[in-house]
Structure 1
């Protein structure tokens, strides 16, 4: 096995198709396919089922995903040690929370440790939760901050990761159902899910945390209207195009200024969740990062 083959393998797993992996790696699709076939020949087993919808891991491929992450991570650590480069901690975060929550984590980390300083934390943001989970599983990220709920990883509604991961709920993230002041539900007390019938619920893509929360907590009554990310959802709601379920921190100013109103329908909190691989807890500084995240209430 060659490291480059493993990198290509992980890219195909992450992106789901040879074409998208080739774009991400700046390679020709034929080169990506050739390296996957070469890796499969060296192992003597198929790693993917080729389907009309893309590349799906075989049982052997699922086992290879864990090993490829370990091997690439070990190679990276060896390279850094040989050349004398200080190891950076790699923290991933959803784009929704990277601006609001990660700075507090880095500040807490700076106050806890003189060895693991914020300049030694490499932060990567992504709008795709599955990508963050795949990178933590594969070892290209040491930990990731995402949004979830329940007792198991993925209870909010997204797919469970293929390899077991450890997680810690850092803090609750309150959700607020908002609408323009002129909405028919504005000011009505004690709303129920049934009252949402006939409303347009502004949503993002199906894998968005807040869409999953809406599906879980609001039910099917309001018609879904695809809009965009949090800024777009907030702006469309302000213009009276529908109601939106958004994190409280994203709409607090608009509610305070009267551009939006919070509807009187209680919605459970979701959690800011830190995810990592338990077999990597011995990495230098990772425990400090975990402690910093755990002790960083943002409110």
Structure 2
């Protein structure tokens, strides 16, 4: 049997987990199947890599040698793959803007502005609820720019070479049924909503933890939280089934009212990212300006947000 990278990944997984059973769970394999593969790897390498007993699996001297080489080879192979994919996906001499975005206020306006400023340049879009997925796509060269959100002051989702610029900082408002007793308030304390069920769009940021923390500070634990798409969130607000946590740029549908939360306990940063070594980096400054203009347009379209900003100058589009 020839040694393959997947075999080194198995050795690394067992060493990190400290047992074959735990490693099998992490790798999504049945324990007997992983044990069989490990025995084949050991035969190919000429000896036992682990001492295994009821306490787990411990590296033998041979195992230490193999693992030390694996920790060099596996990252190198991953880096090679990423560079190859970026090269294959590079736009070369034909300019093309490939945009990726999570749910947010900027993508539509950015597409419109690019199409107006450079009508001969193709623009493509990809949407995802996962900021991690979009960051990986930038790293691999599958998209040129990613528009994502980050909760409060939290860092971007993945440690990577991607350059991130903050386009805007928005508060999180609450969307209520227009007949809700608090719907006509200028702002509402989070504690006043303690008895509500909640709805929010999905994501892989720390927003859920930040919301739970804000509720705890207000003296309650949130009831049911529906995690679903934007349309369903709006419908649940319309029929009075949930209070919806939404970005302040959101356009409330008929039958609902968007109300600021007192003290802005929840904030959402709008970020634009790109790879500094890709051709897209040459036009990044221009894209940033277009993205900020698109965000400013979204703020102006939200009358409730625009009025709220008069007393909260730390929020809104970054100059």
The 8 Å contact of residues 66 and 137 in structure 1, kept in 2 or not, is answered as: no
Q: How many residue pairs are counted as aligned between the two chains?
A: 240
Residue number among 251, 268, 271 corresponding to 2:269 in the alignment: 271
1:278 aligned counterpart, secondary structure: coil
Residue number among 62, 68, 84 corresponding to 1:71 in the alignment: 84
Q: Tell me, in whole angstroms, the C-alpha distance in 2 between the residues paired with 1:145 and 1:93.
A: 4
TM, length-normalised to structure 1: 0.64
The two structures, once aligned, show a CA RMSD in angstroms of 3.6
Per the alignment, do residues 208 and 167 of structure 1 end up closer, same or farther by CA in structure 2, a change over 3 Å counting?
A: closer
The 8 Å contact of residues 70 and 138 in structure 1, kept in 2 or not, is answered as: yes
Residue number among 104, 112, 116 corresponding to 2:109 in the alignment: 104
- Gap regions ≥5 residues in structure 1: 1-36, 155-159
The 8 Å contact of residues 180 and 238 in structure 1, kept in 2 or not, is answered as: yes
Counterpart residue number, 1:238: 238
1:194 counterpart = 2:196: no
Per the alignment, do residues 290 and 167 of structure 1 end up closer, same or farther by CA in structure 2, a change over 3 Å counting?
A: same
Per the alignment, do residues 47 and 168 of structure 1 end up closer, same or farther by CA in structure 2, a change over 3 Å counting?
A: farther
Per the alignment, do residues 249 and 206 of structure 1 end up closer, same or farther by CA in structure 2, a change over 3 Å counting?
A: closer
Residue number among 123, 129, 149 corresponding to 1:127 in the alignment: 129
1:75-86, aligned counterparts within 5 Å? Answer: 75-77=88-90, 86=94
Q: Tell me, in whole angstroms, the C-alpha distance in 2 between the residues paired with 1:248 and 1:231.
A: 16
Residue number among 99, 102, 126 corresponding to 1:91 in the alignment: 99
2:224 aligned counterpart, secondary structure: strand
After superposing the two structures, state which structure 1 stretch, 62-71 or 131-140, moved more.
Answer: 62-71
1:9-28, aligned counterparts within 5 Å? Answer: none
The 8 Å contact of residues 101 and 146 in structure 2, kept in 1 or not, is answered as: yes
| Bigger Rg, structure 1 or 2 | 2
1:161 aligned counterpart, secondary structure: coil
1:52 aligned counterpart, secondary structure: helix
- Gap regions ≥5 residues in structure 2: 14-22, 29-69, 300-319
1:1-299, aligned counterparts within 5 Å? Answer: 38-40=4-6, 49=13, 51-54=24-27, 61=74, 64-77=77-90, 86-94=94-102, 96-97=103-104, 100-110=105-115, 114=118, 117=119, 119-154=121-156, 160-183=157-180, 185-187=182-184, 191-205=188-202, 207=204, 211=208, 214-215=211-212, 217-219=214-216, 221-254=221-254, 258-260=255-257, 262=259, 265-267=262-264, 268-280=266-278, 285-296=283-294, 297-298=296-297, 299=299
TM, length-normalised to structure 2: 0.60
The 8 Å contact of residues 91 and 124 in structure 1, kept in 2 or not, is answered as: yes
Q: Tell me, in whole angstroms, the C-alpha distance in 1 between the residues paired with 2:186 and 2:113.
A: 40
> 1:184 Cα shift?
5.0
